[in-house]
A and B are shown apart, each in its own frame.
Chain A
Amino acid sequence: MAESKARVPAIEGWFRMDGSAPCLLGVRCRACGTVYFPRESFCRNPGCGHGELEETQLSRRGRLWSWTDNRYAPPPPFVAKQPFEPYTIAAVELGAEKMVVLGQVASGVDASAFRVGQEMELVLDALFEDDTNEYVIWKWRPVAA
């Protein structure tokens, strides 16, 4: 039964497993301030390159840069539901970090009224499940008007 399954991250260390205020976990260079997501092991700014990196929480909200969807099941290693359910993918621009981050759009959200520039927020949602676990991932959804 789905209720008894453990909720575990689909990948370790990429986001905070916090039901009420989840966020992406990246790193920030202590020298130049550049933010990286996913984590980097060194600063890639060619004008810096020496900074120590510290973990940082990325903004939970951003503006929609673009979106599209997938009407056909992708190949493995994606784990597709049977039967396949199309999903939307959004590219969201984070203001403070000045970067665009991709994510699926939370299941059940209708993208037909999406507009570039609208505010989006990060949530956790199921990516796939097996017999024992439900694997969760970050997703984007519109901020309720």
Chain B
Amino acid sequence: MKENIFPAIRITLVCLLFFSGLYSLINLGAAQLASNNGKGDTIIQNGKTYFTNVGQQFTDDRYFYSRPSAVAYNAAGAGGSNKGPSNAGYLKTIRDRLDTFMVHNPGVNKSDIPSDLITASGSGLDPHISVQAANVQVKRIAKIRGIAKENIQQLILSHTEMPLLGLFGTERINVLKLNIALDKLN
């Protein structure tokens, strides 16, 4: 024991300096060359700063809704609902969300509503929705804003992020970017 304890303490301190210290500093130095100095990617719009990758709550009918969130898009305490698939209380919440959506979007077919619009994401901060989730909201937004549907559909098309190299992953839309562009249309 004795012959091990001092090397153990000393080598731990060396590791502390190297792995917690130097390794972090190298990364911190490199981050000064990255976008926004490694403080998180941002969009600056009308003098206001938004984080590109951190989703925002959109419940106003004038905007494309973002996904439901278990933490109301609180980015200082992110999290998911952690509800199991068979939980009766959870399934009631889903049904309520569906009904609310139908009330705010009259004339929409239930079978056109994709599940990402009524389920909460893992982080509660999902910045994206699926393309179908955007399309199903066009009618509502066109009516409230008095814009032609075609213009909004065009906007969705130009904001669709394709899979990596067209081959890998999902199609998706950053809701914040889409809504900023939507505000510019008026």
Q: Are A and B genuine complex partners?
A: no
- Residues of A at the B interface (CB closer than 8 Å) are none
